[in-house]
Structure 1
Amino acid sequence: MAEKVIFPNSTIGVIGSSPNGISLVRKAKQMGFKTAAYGSNAESPTLREADLPIVGRGNDQLQLQRFAERCDLVVYESEQVSSESIKYIQKFTSVPQGSEALELMQDRLLERAFFEQLNVNIAPYATIVSLDDIYQAISSIGFPCVLKPIQKGLMRTSQFVLRKQSDIAKCAELVEQGTFILESWIPYQQEISVVLVRDQNGTLTYMAPLETYYKEHRLIQVVVPAEVDKPIWDEAKNIATLIGDNLNYVGVIEVGFFVTQAGAIYVKRIVPAIHEAGDIYQYISNVSLEEEQLRAAANMPIVLPKVVQKGAIGFLQEKDFNAVKTQWILKENWFYNFFRYPASMLPQSTSGFVFTAGQTGSEAKEQLDSTGIWDGARLEEDKSE
């Protein structure tokens, strides 16, 4: 992919309305770019921050074209942005990230076919279109297992964990809604991520390894650097390199892994965009993911990341605010980032996060855990993926 260099005073468009969006717009302004933003809600913080806000639905071709024609290039801020919208925008302006990786990773069957083509280790799965398919597949998949719709982001509550034979009948109404996959539950001990940046020449640059923790399928803590044995990290990095070399994509990529007690690693997911776990890099390294994403898109040199301190972040919900008030007046080494959503965009699963540094990532995590705000933080499969 040979894109021209984008210089200051050019217009960079951001599509999407997650907290990544406002961070990208702010960073683009800091780097000297004009900004445009596209989203469905005029009150979105991303649209309010941009020089040119354009409101429209994801399938509104007239507004998408209007947005694209006013931008020298467009970046999408999360993996939730419709790949069809990106395909349409590409008719009118440059989208260095492209639509292929996004389309691939939004469909669980396409994603797993990609993994199988690369011969990487993934959880055993079967395609499900009827209840009979579950009965036939369960002998090879085994219990426990998870029934998931093939389209990520759709029917997020329409997933079901099967733990015994009698659970199969409970899936009857669910499987009538569309095509699913039935996936084995990996009994893992640790979850890590390799975050890399792919420039327009295909060169890969690696960020520090992440360790992630979930509660009730929601990301609640991130620790950097991940405390993982070197052979496991080397293997994860090799797999991430293989994936990065085979994706038609420019920008930030996160590759998530399950690590079992025996040291086996399984690819969990790929995020061809900035993922919320990467919020920690702005505190522990010399560069943020937003700047790396924009540098890659603008065809600038990618910053070689360096860890300047170790730490952890804990994501907050609105219910945590009273508990946070106590820490607000006690902790001199806590740094806060709250997402200021308007009432029209509430409720949100995450309201912000707090960062703290430590001699090690684990020590920083212990500082968070000692407050009780994140009680129950543990390794848990994120079935929303």
Structure 2
Amino acid sequence: MAEKVIFPESTLGVIGNSPNGIELLHQAKQMGFKTVAYGSNAESPTLQAADLGIVGRGNDQVQLQEFAERCDLVIYESEQVSSEAVKFIERFTSVPQGSEALELMQDRLLERVFFEQMNVNIAPYATVVSLDDIYQSISSIGFPCVLKPIQKGFMHRQLVLRKQSDIAKCGELVEQGTFILESWIPYEREVSVFLFRQQDGTLTFMAPLETYYQEHRLAQVVGPADVPAPIWQEIKKIAAQIGDNLNYVGVLEIAFFVTPAQAIYVKRVVPAMHESGYLYQKISNVSLEEQQIRVAVGMPLVTPQVIQKAALGMVTPEDYPAIKTQWVLKDNWFYHFFRYPASMQPQSKVGYVIVPADDGYAAKEQLDATGIWDQEAKKPAEELPKD
């Protein structure tokens, strides 16, 4: 953990390949830091945004050490960064976020044990190492349910089970590793809370966001979310409990399911930047990126205030032709594209748009009216929420 203030002209390192790194590096330069980025592709926009890019695989200890030794401090920009790589980097430089929370949240089984220790609501689940485990646990888990690998980065494939005969389809998959079988929560909405845990344990909350997913990928965000006061207070209480129990310094995204009966379930914790937080660039007096750098280098945090309401729409390559139409029509749409090179194509997302309005949900309606984010048209028959 960082124990001293890092000043401008010091070198701040960012490890990872997601667009979060691009945003962090632009902010770091604006704040006067020299920047170094580490990733697996020399043409990555993240590496291109840094003063110096170091190319290496996640487990390349020679390159990781060179990267770490050039930095006064390192931030990992997403939950996809290898916790083993972060552990290694910690031997040579300061990583305020640490590796413990990242390692915990990259393993679905460890993550759920962590939640159970705090007695917070999560979806019922069972550990699966064989097909027989599914047959034995299905009576308590129930249908529909989802079979997920315990390592979030191991594979992206998940199976939805809706009836007894679906279990037989899991045989080949469960031979590949350990899984969890998780009940599906019939939720009404998803609410994300971003908070910052400082070096002394102080927690600072940003305004809540409401998120909308399609095909398990983030599609839209509304902020601030219109959450009834009792629900918001309970969500903050649970989020604070989670923050207090993590050995971590930096930004946390904690996502919740809220059911029609107003029951609250923890969906996931991301101990890093998350793309839904891009919306703060327009709705808050301080961006997520600036707050993350401030907490990492030991600066006081800005007291967050909502300055306007807005909705965000993530843009996929398939959306780009329709986005061109809006480009010449909308005077209140703000565009941000990641500029991936050909060597990194195809990408699931190429950028995002933010639409400010007097009401965030009215801004979402403006996005929906274009048909670009038509959830019913894009929604697959087997869609279930992913953590």
For the criterion TM > 0.5, the same-fold answer is: yes
Over the matched positions of the two proteins, sequence identity in percent amounts to 74
Q: Tell me the equivalent position of 1:72.
A: 72
For 1:163-182, what aligned pairs fall within 5 Å after superposition?
163-182=162-181
Partner amino acid for 2:89? I
How much has 1:156 moved relative to structure 2? 0.1
Q: Size of the alignment, in residue pairs? A: 383
- Can you list the C-alpha shifts for 1:316-373, whole angstroms capped at 9, x where unaligned? 1111111111111111000000111011111111111111011111111011011111
Is residue 381 of structure 2 the alignment partner of residue 382 of structure 1? no
What secondary structure, in the 3-state scheme, does the structure 1 residue paired with 2:200 have? Answer: coil
8 A Cα contact 1:212 1:219, kept in partner: yes
Cα offset, 1:218, TM superposition:
1.1
The one-letter code of the counterpart of 1:6 is I
> Offset at 1:79?
0.4
Calculate the TM-score normalised by the size of structure 1. Answer: 0.98
2:2/2:297 contact within 8 Å kept: no
Asked if 1 retains the 8 angstrom alpha-carbon contact of 2:2 and 2:95, the reply is: no
Counterpart Cα distance in 1 of 2:63 and 2:2: 27
Shift of 1:2: 5.6
Q: Which amino acid aligns with 2:124?
A: P
Asked if 2 retains the 8 angstrom alpha-carbon contact of 1:214 and 1:381, the reply is: no
Amino acid at match of 1:217: H
Alignment match, 1:211: 210
The aligned counterpart of 1:362 is: 361
Partner letter of residue 278 of structure 1? G
- Write out per-residue CA displacement over residues 75-127 of structure 1, whole angstroms, 9 at most, x where no aligned residue: 00000000000000000000000000000000000000000011100000000
Partner in structure 1 of residue 292 of structure 2: 293
| TM-score between both structures, scaled by the size of structure 2 | 0.97
2:156 alignment partner in structure 1: 156
Report the Cα distance in structure 2 between the residues aligned to 1:308 and 1:124, rounded to whole angstroms. Answer: 39
Q: CA RMSD in A?
A: 1.1
The answer as to 2:314 corresponding to 1:311 is no
Corresponding residue for 1:62? 62
- What is aligned with 1:251? 250
Aligned ranges 1:97-116 → 2 under 5 Å: 97-116=97-116
Structure 1 pair 2–321 and aligned structure 2 pair: CA distance change class (3 A): closer
SS of the aligned residue for 1:242 comes to helix
> Shift of the alpha carbon at 1:36?
0.5
Letter in structure 2 aligned against 1:348: Q
1:191–1:258 Cα contact (<8 Å) kept: yes
> Post-superposition, which runs of at least 4 consecutive aligned residues in structure 1 deviate over 3 A?
377-381
Aligned to 1:276: 275
In the aligned structure 2, how far is the partner of 1:297 from the partner of 1:17?
Answer: 19
Contact 1:224/1:312 (CA < 8 Å) preserved in 2? yes
User: Partner of 1:147 in structure 2?
Assistant: 147
Matched, 1:48 2:48: yes
Q: Distance in 2 between matches of 1:382 and 1:77?
A: 23
Asked if the contact 1:106–1:151 (Cα under 8 Å) also holds between the matched residues in 2, the reply is: yes
Alpha-carbon shift at residue 381 of structure 1 (Å)? 3.5
Identify unmatched segments of 5+ residues in structure 1.
Answer: none
Q: Secondary structure at the match of 1:188?
A: coil
Q: Which residue of 2 is the match for residue 232 of structure 1?
A: 231
Greater mean alpha carbon deviation, residues 182-191 or residues 340-349: 340-349
Which blocks of at least 5 consecutive residues in structure 2 are unaligned?
none
AA aligned opposite 1:13: G
Q: Once the 2 structures are TM-superposed, how far is the Cα of residue 382 of structure 1 from its aligned partner?
A: 2.8
Q: Match of 1:46, as an amino acid?
A: T
**Matches of 2:320 and 2:62 in 1, distance apart?**
41
